[in-house]
Amino acid sequence: MKRIFISTEKDKPVNCFDEPITIANYLIQNNFPVQPVKEVTNNVYLILDTLTQLPDTIAIDQQTDLLLFHETTTNNIKNLFPYKKEGHHMQAEKYYYRPVFDILLSNCENKAEKILKVLGYADEQINEENKLKYKLQLLHEIYEGKDTSEISADKSLEEFSKKITDFKATVTKYNNEDNNHRAALIELRDALLADV
């Protein structure tokens, strides 16, 4: 399971709320920042932003762990994480800290999963992003005239195999400068990206 580390400090979280007493009490109840790294719910940790290293008991998983950081988080801590998202202790949702704290303060289940969604790191979001990157790379390779024969063997891309085969049949008689080639490529692009 992915773990989320939220870099913060004692006073800044109150900036996220009109009624700061709730978050202030939450931090006190969790003995934060007296305890500078604290698991506050399954796989979600508060981490003091002035730390320069983590305790020996916490090893960062380079494949899955994620850091939500802000402007005063030390570079030493930021550099430990392969996945990180910058936020700000402000009330707007686009700055991440407010919706993350809302989830932590709520009585909902699966808080880690909900936070991952807010930060854009839920498995389905990552899969969709990777799928889009692959499709764009594929389009580029087709446009460059590279061999894409491996694509039809890839089961996750079965839905595109026919579109690609049709495209190749359409453009074999044209070169890259021909308008018909471009029209066929545009048609393929639209077909591949239709579900994005």
Q: How does the average pLDDT of the chain come out, rounded?
A: 83
Closest CA to 25 of 128, 105, 106: 105
d(CA 103, CA 118): 10
d(CA 68, CA 66): 7
Residue type, 9: E
Whole-angstrom CA distances from 175 to 20, 71, 147, 186, 190 are 65, 51, 15, 15, 20
pLDDT of residue 62: 93
- How remote is the C-alpha of 11 from its chain's centroid? 27
Residue with tokens 């773990």: 3
pTM score > 0.85 for this model?
A: no
Higher pLDDT: 81 or 153? It is: 81
Closest CA to 160 of 142, 180, 179, 144: 142
pLDDT, tens digit, 9 for 90 and up, residues 93-147: 889 999 999 999 999 999 999 999 999 888 787 777 777 777 777 777 766 666 6
pLDDT of residue 152: 47
pLDDT over 80 at 188, yes or no = no
* Average pLDDT rounded to a whole number, residues 168-195: 63
pLDDT, tens digit, 9 for 90 and up, residues 71-91: 999 999 999 999 999 999 998
What count of Cα atoms within 13 Å lies in the side-chain half-sphere of residue 48? 15
